[in-house]
């Protein structure tokens, strides 16, 4: 026998579902008529800035309410200035987010006291790509293989003693037994490249392959640089004949260290919201960003600009990478910090 639901209960149920329905509608309407700001922790015209502006052009179409999206640049301290602002100062309303350097989430791991944030409490939204770094040498250098480099040694350019090229130069030197001398102090990666052309240095330990394709396509076409190694979250299919560092490491301890050292490359160019933003709003930002990364118009825009957008990660995947890194064994962490802090 089918029982009729009392009218009073129907009224209560309609009120309950009406409240939740109104809440959902309010959340979906939150961004209508508002402006979402993306703070980029790098200069205008850099790779990070180009990615942010490309994402902004398409993301708005996937956020309920279609807010305006503007990009602001805030440089300083290798991205820490912007990250500290987002964590400690920015409003927790989901209207201000950042796109920061891949090294930023890992600065506390290395004990950098200028990083006044807990990366595990940030709301990571996603990344448009994972990066592959290459160890490259200028074509006039008599080195064509890793074995050549181990015998001869390399003099590599870097923008500073604590810069990404210097750090990875020390890591690769330690793990692969390559005698590496670093010339630190170049003002930019472009100056390192100019130094290669002038034969002031042999090459660079950490050149983004994606950047090389955009900024120096003639170097690749004319084989003016020789990629000796590649490393990152996964090997680049465009470099089938360039050894992937993880495949060269037989020692489990070395492999674990390189995996942790490569974590910044896996997170690519991460977008992040401050801690304390309403979880439903974070989920909305994450899901809309995921849809953007699959948008054919967005992918076509990336292809037009020759930027890689085909290996995105979700915010939850970035959370997993960070958690794995910060859960590293003390022995692995201490060894990596020792390499990070060493100065040749």
**Closest to 52 measured CA to CA, from 301, 243, 277:** 301
Q: What pTM, to 2 d.p., does this model score? A: 0.81
* Superfamily (CATH H level) for 132-264: Periplasmic binding protein-like II (3.40.190.10)
Q: What is the predicted pLDDT for the residue at 23?
A: 42
Q: What is the predicted pLDDT for the residue at 60?
A: 96
Q: Whose structure tokens read 């050149």? A: 207
Q: What is the predicted pLDDT for the residue at 7?
A: 56
Residue 71 DSSP SS3: strand
Is residue 20 pLDDT above 80, yes or no? no
Q: Which two tokens stand for residue 77?
A: 């301290």
* Pairing of β 313-314 and β 180-184: unpaired
Q: What is the predicted pLDDT for the residue at 81?
A: 93
Q: What is the 3-state secondary structure (H, E, C) of 199-229?
A: CCCCEEEEEEHHHHHHHCHHHHHCCCEEEEE
pLDDT digits (tens, 9 = 90+) for 86-99: 999 999 999 999 99
**Domain covering 31-130+268-327, topology:** D-Maltodextrin-Binding Protein; domain 2 (3.40.190)
CA distances from 86 to 37, 47, 72, 207 (A): 11, 21, 13, 28
Q: What is the mean pLDDT of residues 109-119?
A: 94
Is residue 1 pLDDT above 60, yes or no? no
Distance CA 52, CA 27 (A): 24
pLDDT digits (tens, 9 = 90+) for 215-254: 888 999 999 999 999 999 889 989 999 999 999 999 999 9
C-beta contacts of 252-255 below 8 A and 24+ residues apart: 253/332, 254/175
Q: Following DSSP, what letter does each residue of 306-329 receive, concatenated?
A: T---SS-EEHHHHHHHHHHHHT--
Distance CA 141, CA 136 (A): 10
Alpha helices in the chain (DSSP H): 7-28, 47-59, 80-88, 146-152, 164-176, 189-197, 209-215, 217-221, 245-248, 252-261, 263-267, 279-294, 296-305, 315-326, 330-341
* Pairing of β 271-273 and β 35-40: unpaired
pLDDT digits (tens, 9 = 90+) for 152-162: 999 999 887 76
Distance CA 318, CA 99 (A): 13
**From the CB of residue 234, how many other CB atoms can be counted at a distance below 10 Å?**
15
Instruction: Say yes or no: do domains 31-130+268-327 and 132-264 share a fold.
Output: yes
Q: Where are the domains of the chain?
A: 31-130+268-327, 132-264
Average pLDDT taken over every residue of the chain? 90
Lowest mean pLDDT among 50-64, 153-167, 269-283: 153-167
């Amino acid at each position: 026998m089918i029982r009729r639901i009392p009218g009073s209960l129907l009224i209560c149920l309609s009120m309950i579902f009406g409240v939740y329905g109104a809440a959902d509608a309010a959340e979906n309407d939150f961004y209508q008529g508002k402006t979402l700001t993306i703070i980029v922790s790098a200069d205008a015209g850099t790779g990070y800035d180009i990615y942010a502006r490309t994402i902004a052009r398409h993301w708005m179409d996937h956020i309920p309410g279609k807010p305006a999206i503007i990009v602001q640049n805030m440089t300083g301290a290798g991205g820490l200035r912007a990250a500290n602002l987002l964590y400690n100062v920015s409003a927790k309303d989901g209207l201000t987010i950042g796109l920061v350097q891949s090294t930023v989430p890992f600065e506390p791991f290395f004990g950098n006291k200028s990083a006044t944030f807990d990366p595990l409490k940030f709301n990571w939204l996603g990344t448009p790509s994972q990066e592959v770094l290459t160890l490259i040498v200028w074509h006039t250098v008599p080195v064509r293989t890793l074995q050549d480099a181990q015998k001869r040694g390399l003099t590599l350019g870097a923008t500073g003693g604590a810069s990404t090229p210097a750090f990875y130069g020390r890591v690769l030197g330690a793990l692969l037994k390559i005698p590496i001398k670093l010339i630190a102090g170049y003002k930019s990666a472009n100056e390192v490249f100019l130094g290669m052309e002038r034969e002031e240095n042999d090459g660079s330990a950490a050149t983004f392959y994606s950047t090389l394709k955009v900024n120096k396509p003639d170097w690749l076409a004319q084989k003016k640089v020789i990629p000796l190694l590649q490393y990152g979250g996964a090997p680049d299919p465009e470099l089938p004949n360039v050894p992937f560092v993880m495949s060269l490491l037989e020692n489990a301890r070395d492999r674990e260290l390189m995996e942790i050292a490569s974590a910044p490359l896996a997170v690519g160019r991460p977008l992040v919201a401050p801690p304390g933003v309403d979880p439903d709003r974070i989920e909305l930002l994450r899901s809309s960003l995921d849809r953007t990364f699959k948008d054919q118009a967005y992918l076509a825009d990336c292809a037009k600009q020759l930027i890689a957008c085909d290996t995105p990660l979700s915010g939850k995947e970035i959370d997993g990478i960070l958690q794995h890194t910060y859960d590293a064994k003390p022995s692995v962490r201490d060894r990596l910090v020792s390499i990070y802090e060493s100065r040749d």
